[in-house]
Amino acid sequence: MSKVSVHIVTHNSFIFMESVLLSLEHQTFSDWAVLLVDNASSDETLRYLAERWPQYRIVRNRENVGFSRAHNQAIHFTESEYVLTLNPDVILHEWYIARVVEALDQNPQAGSATGKILRAQGKPGELGSSTFSRTLDSTGILFDRRRWFRDRGAGEEDRAQYDSGIEIFGPSGAAALYRRKALESIAYREKERVEYFDELFHSYKEDVDLAWWLTRKGWHSLYVPRARAYHYRRVGATGTDMRSLMHEHASRTARITFLSYRNHLFLLVKNERLFKHRKDLPWILLWEFGKMGYLLCTHPIILIRAWLDVMKNWRVLIDKRKYLK
């Protein structure tokens, strides 16, 4: 059994597969194994994997079951000490796995770790010096009094301002190392189903939810700046000012806008404990009413659909809220 299981969820990811798998092959840390879970790809992903990487195990889903369920499947099928969730559109520096594993080995109270993730640019599959930008993608998940969850440093130029290792709220799921013991401690079990990532979320912000549960259970999360990776993010923040945020939202598809807002509501219902943070309530309300006003003007159908989904799943969300004590 390998020390690290690398789990990659694919869905029409053919253009990224060469670069992500080559970056794994070049890792200085060698005690790892790959499990790919394919969510009903209709492009060349499966053919390419079978021909080019026949040594890797693939779980094939007949439909797109989402990021959460696919990663839960992968966790169920493996037994390694650590789990690395890796997006197919990420390229790892050769020391990435070694350094995040070292961080968790040296800190037994840490349940997760991530490195410095920067933006990749250019055409996927054509690797070269121009592929690797100096624009930050994520140095861990950050949130403030408004419960605005975002990638720390996203859109900023890397000027060594995030070169100190610190404790963070949680890692971006694009390249996150989790301790299996930590995952088992927060697993939601109902009959024969076991969830680590909440399957209600399908995709988007499920890594925030998992980080919140791990934090509530007492696990720490580490940012390891010497571990580097590069991410071909399709839509991402270019700053934290209002103009940048408006541009980011305008660039999103309707599907992503819906998942982002609905899953944000899921997060609050499942995890927020206002009786412990009463001073934050005015900030939260102002932020939430601002979001609702923006969506009412730009995407009223999405606003309605999101709240209908919250009401539809209210009982399950409350059950999960009570589950972790």
In this predicted structure, what is the pLDDT of residue 43? 96
In this predicted structure, what is the pLDDT of residue 31? 98
Q: Which domains does the chain have, with CATH numbers?
A: 4-231 (3.90.550.10), 252-323 (no CATH)
DSSP 73-130: HHHHH---SEEEEE-TTEEE-TTHHHHHHHHHHH-TTEEEEEEEEEEE-SSTT--SGG
Cα distances from 292 to residues 267, 295, 312, in angstroms, run: 16, 5, 19
Q: What is the mean pLDDT of each run of 10 residues along the chain (325 residues)?
A: 97 95 96 98 97 97 97 98 98 98 99 98 68 94 91 96 97 98 96 93 95 97 98 66 55 88 96 80 89 94 97 96 84
Q: What's the CA dihedral at 204, 209, 215, 217 to 10 degrees?
A: -140
In this predicted structure, what is the pLDDT of residue 180? 99
Q: Would you say 208 and 176 are in contact if contact means Cβ atoms under 8 Å apart?
A: no
In this predicted structure, what is the pLDDT of residue 191? 83
In this predicted structure, what is the pLDDT of residue 130? 57
Q: Would you say 131 and 115 are in contact if contact means Cβ atoms under 8 Å apart?
A: no
